[in-house]
Amino acid sequence: MSVRSKVIEAIQQIAKEQNVTLPELSDDLSLHETGFDSLAFAILVARLEDEIGVDPFTISEDAAFPATVGDFVRAYANVPA
Amino acid sequence: MSPREIFALRDHLGAELKGRTISDAHDVVSLTDILSHTVLGGRLRELSGRAVLLKLSDQLRSGLVMIELDGIARRMLLCPPDLNPAHLDALIADAGIDAVVTDEPDRWADTCVPLVVVARLPLQAIAPAKSERATEWLMLTSGTSGVPKIVGHTLEALTGAIVAEGPARGQAPVWATFYDIRRYGGLQIFLRAVLSGGSMVLSDPHESLADHVARLKARGVSHISGTPSHWRKLLMSGSAAQFAPAYVRLSGEIADQAVLDGLKAAFPNASVGHAYASTEAGVGFAVNDGLEGFPADYLGNRNGVEMKVTDGSLRIRSARTAHAYVGRNAAALTDADGFVDSGDIVELRGDRYYFVGRRGGIINIGGLKVHPEEIEAVINRHPDVRMSRAKSRRSPITGGIVVADVILTEGTDQARAKEIRDEILKHCRAQLASHKVPAVIRFVEALDVTPAGKLARTDA
């Protein structure tokens, strides 16, 4: 499974658990518009760390938290797993 | 003090009951004529009035030394097997130790302790000794970091709850415990066996659980105690079958409904009770209605034990609490009114108080305080879960999140893991605030338990 599909699948699973209705997950959708709160993002980052083996937001000191879904996926795609 | 006023351990051991024993995996010692025998090679007189360190590699000799020494020594300090040797010098200084009873005399040859007495089996015949004084019993707290605190008790305080309950009815019980008897929880069981006219079967750290249970069965153990973690391990091992104790007791950790129900199912003919006790606060109370928590009307003064809840934690004042921390920089053990703060946080729901966790065990989740035990209690209620541990994990988003390690009930189909995980999360979301719901649930084969029998919480 590609990094992108792993990320999207995890987002959809957490949305289901949190009763969040997701809009269509396009690359330029802002993360704010996903309906996720900070706790949901924290769960997402923790689960992806277990699944993919990296947490790009802790590894990199200067990483700004991404603004869009596309940025978020790229943060994982750009880290050597 | 006149000897007539003293009631030491030996004075509870009349010769009227025959066939009583104390045993471990290797030896069986008769208690019937114990007063005319010595484990100290006949050197008890030399220990009169001394502050004695009990540093033995086994529980059997430790118990026999306690019986012989109580009423003779000024004080005795019980060393649990997991004591960090690096802390020994500080403890010896703080307790004013001037003698040691050991089975490794070579280790003490060049130390500052002036008197070294060897404890050995088999026992030797000797004229019975008479109690001379009320010996101070010193025990160590089981905290995980730093030098343990020395807690001072008297035999009267240690046995307050046992005497209050009166002698066991019917056949003399055969007691056992998963604890070490040099810890408060285990010592209570040892003292029960001595005072109640029964026998005692000791645990052995080098023995497998299956062999231990086989020994419990063979020796006819009727009454047995341990922490909820000890009991969960037994239930998981599958070794509980065919063992049929009459009384099963839990203490030392929160007994949640899941473990109480699990024990009731495993031992349908046993009465299952959980007791509240700590090294400092002594024995508070026992709950025998099969439910977690305790009735709210236990607060106030009940059987000489006064309890109140202040700032969320249970406070206890009674003749069974320890009387002081011992040592140069020892803190006060009680408040100005004589109450011991247990540090155990309780919550009133309906007409019952429930334990939610330790004050010192709070984890911080995004600035919000969370007791891992309250999350574990919800997870453990799932029928396929045997044991769990909640802890914090750092998060770049919120600072911290809750994650949980879960052991499934023996024989659970691994293919159902995802389904079970979803069900656990659903229960947690229904019963816990959102920040307490585990972000990640991991299924594991085992969880660490400390030598004192408690779930290891290294991050707390």
Q: CATH no. for residue A61? A: 1.10.1200.10
The minimum CA-CA distance between A57 and chain B, rounded to whole Å, is 6
Q: Mean of the per-residue pLDDT values for chain A?
A: 87
Rounded to two decimals, the ipTM of the complex is 0.86
Kindly state whether A71 is in contact with chain B, defined as any CB-CB distance less than 8 angstroms. Answer: no
Neighbours of B213 (CB within 10 A): 22
Kindly state whether B418 is in contact with chain A, defined as any CB-CB distance less than 8 angstroms. Answer: no
Query: How many independent structural domains does chain A possess?
Result: 1
Position A57 confidence tier, pLDDT thresholds 50, 70, 90: confident
Identify the segments of chain B with pLDDT beneath 50: 1-3, 460
Q: Taking the mean position of all CA atoms in its chain, how far away is CA B452?
A: 7
Q: Do A65 and B394 count as a contact with CB atoms less than 8 A apart?
A: no
Q: Count CB pairs under 8 A between chains A and B.
A: 40
Instruction: Give B 430-459 residues with CB within 8 A of chain A.
Output: 434-435, 439-440, 442
* CATH code, residues B362-443: 3.30.300.30
Domain enclosing residue A29, as ranges: 3-77
Q: Which residue of A has its CA nearest to B421?
A: A17
Q: What's the pLDDT score for residue B219?
A: 96
The minimum CA-CA distance between B394 and chain A, rounded to whole Å, is 9
Contacts of B42-48 with C-beta under 8 Å, sequence gap 24+, read B42/B124, B42/B126, B43/B117, B44/B68, B44/B69, B44/B72, B44/B126, B44/B129, B46/B99, B46/B115, B46/B117, B47/B72, B47/B73, B47/B99, B47/B101, B47/B115, B47/B117, B48/B72, B48/B73, B48/B132
Contact predicate B47/B119, CB 8 Å:
no
Topology classification of domain B3-349: Rossmann fold (3.40.50)
Closest in B366, B395, B434 to A46, CB measured: B395
Instruction: Give A 45-64 residues with CB within 8 A of chain B.
Output: 45-47, 50, 55, 57-58
Asked whether the predicted pLDDT for residue A6 surpasses 50, the reply is: yes
What is the domain partition of chain B in residue ranges? Answer: 3-349, 362-443
Q: What's the pLDDT score for residue B144?
A: 60
Question: Which DSSP symbol is given to B31?
Answer: S
| pTM, 2 dp | 0.88
Q: Could you tell me the two tokens for B445?
A: 């084969």
Q: What's the pLDDT score for residue A62?
A: 61
* Most B CBs within 10 Å, among A13, A36, A39, A51, to test the B interface: A39
- Decide whether B3-349 matches B362-443 in CATH topology: no
Q: What's the pLDDT score for residue B14?
A: 75
Asked whether the predicted pLDDT for residue A39 surpasses 60, the reply is: yes
Q: What's the pLDDT score for residue A56?
A: 86
Kindly state whether A17 is in contact with chain B, defined as any CB-CB distance less than 8 angstroms. Answer: yes
B245, with CB counted inside 10 A (0-12, 13-18, 19+), is buried
The minimum CA-CA distance between A24 and chain B, rounded to whole Å, is 23
Three-state SS string across chain A, please? CCHHHHHHHHHHHHHHHHCCCCCCCCCCCEHHHHCCCHHHHHHHHHHHHHHHCCCHHHHCCCCCCCCEHHHHHHHHHCCCC
Residue A18, amino acid: Q
Asked whether the predicted pLDDT for residue A58 surpasses 80, the reply is: no
Do you find a cis peptide bond into B122, omega within 30 degrees of 0?
A: yes
Q: What's the pLDDT score for residue B276?
A: 96
Q: What's the pLDDT score for residue B237?
A: 87
B269, with CB counted inside 10 A (0-12, 13-18, 19+), is exposed
